[in-house]
Chains A and B, each alone.
Chain A
Amino acid sequence: MIKSEKKNIIFNFLTVIVVFFLDRSSKIYILKLAEFESSLDIYVLPNLNFYLIWNKGISFGLLPFSDSFGYMALSFLISFLILIILIMVIKEENNFKKYSLLLILGGALGNLYDRIKYSAVPDFIDLHIGNIHWFIFNVADIFISLGVVCLIYAELFFKKEE
């Protein structure tokens, strides 16, 4: 019983580490590429570009704080949310929901790390169809969105099954 709990904790921890590592490595790679050129704009696929921009705010470029107090307040709010997610992970019994929360946790930690280190989050994945561009995002955003979609799916369909 204790062994299986230990295994679960290790797997949970590994999930967060893998998500965090994937996000960090992608950002490090893009930032290294950007070092050689003043602005990074790489054509990858017909509908995918790598275009580096820095986001000081939250989603969709909202709340772009230029003063340090606002930025610090936002960072504290994000840290507080991460703490809440961590508590939810510990309390959650359903494995599907737990791993969804872990995906969110890993991604959120990746973005928080950039907020502390660079005072902004680097976004670089630019999906577009012709001239219609979706918001530029990063790997951490993918995991956070995936985790939330999984949580919504679990909330909507798991209870019906029950």
Chain B
Amino acid sequence: MKNFYKFIILSLMVLILTSCQSVVDGISMKKKNNTDQFLIEKKSPLVLPPDFDELPEPASEAKSSEEDEFDIKNVLGQTSTSDENKKTDSSSIKNTIMKKIK
């Protein structure tokens, strides 16, 4: 009887102190621990911003684009005049050189 108790105590000792694990448990535990799929964030629903009323209206944006076009035309016009000036300058230089040669 004493041997029987000792045998039970020794078996319990093995059960508690060792740490073996079945292959299936080990693999299933790995799958449970793998939380990568939960790292994907869900997209939050679309909500109006709090300062939505303060934003500029679409019509004013169109005006501004027209103004921009006008400005571009002005700039182009200026460049054309500057080109003419450059042409006159170059012709005057030519004339002076020709005069000197003569």
Contact = CB atoms under 8 A, between A and B. Distances in A.
Interface of A: 39, 51, 53-55, 57-62, 64, 77-78, 81-82, 85, 104, 107-108, 111, 121, 123, 126, 133, 135-138, 140-141, 144-145, 148, 151-152, 155-156
Interface string B17-30: 11111110111011
Nearest to A62: B15
A148 B6 contact: no
Nearest to A49: B23
Contact of A53 (B7, B10, B29): B29
A60 B20 CA distance: 5
B20 A148 contact: no
A60 B21 contact: yes
Per DSSP, chain B at the interface is helix
B97 interface: no
A126 B23 contact: yes
Interface of B: 3, 6-7, 10-11, 13-23, 25-27, 29-30
A154 to B, nearest CB: 10
Per DSSP, chain A at the interface is helix
A157 B9 CA distance: 18
B17 A81 contact: yes
Contacts of A136: 20-23, 26
Given A53-B29, A123-B20, A135-B23, 19 more contacts: A53-B25, A53-B26, A54-B29, A55-B19, A57-B21, A60-B22, A61-B21, A61-B26, A62-B15, A64-B25, A81-B16, A107-B17, A108-B17, A135-B21, A135-B22, A138-B19, A144-B13, A148-B11, A152-B10
